Amino acid sequence: DTTQQQQQQQPELWPVGNTYTNQWASSTHMVGNIHQHDRGNLATEVVTTTQDILEAWIGGQPLVPTSLYGIRKYTTKSVLAPHVD
List, for residues 64-84, the tens digit of each pLDDT value. 988 777 788 888 898 888 877
Query: What pLDDT sits at residue 35?
Result: 56
Is the pLDDT reported for residue 60 higher than 80?
yes
CA 57 to CA 19: how far, in whole Å? Answer: 29
Query: What pLDDT sits at residue 31?
Result: 81
Is the pLDDT reported for residue 8 higher than 80?
no
3-state helix, strand and coil shares in percent for the chain, rounded to the nearest 5: 25, 15, 60
Alpha helix positions (H), the chain: 2-7, 42-57
Contacts of 42 (CB under 8 A, 6+ apart): 32, 33, 34, 71
Is the pLDDT reported for residue 61 higher than 90?
yes
CB atoms within 10 A of CB 43: 22
Is the pLDDT reported for residue 10 higher than 90?
no
Kindly report the pTM of this predicted structure: 0.57
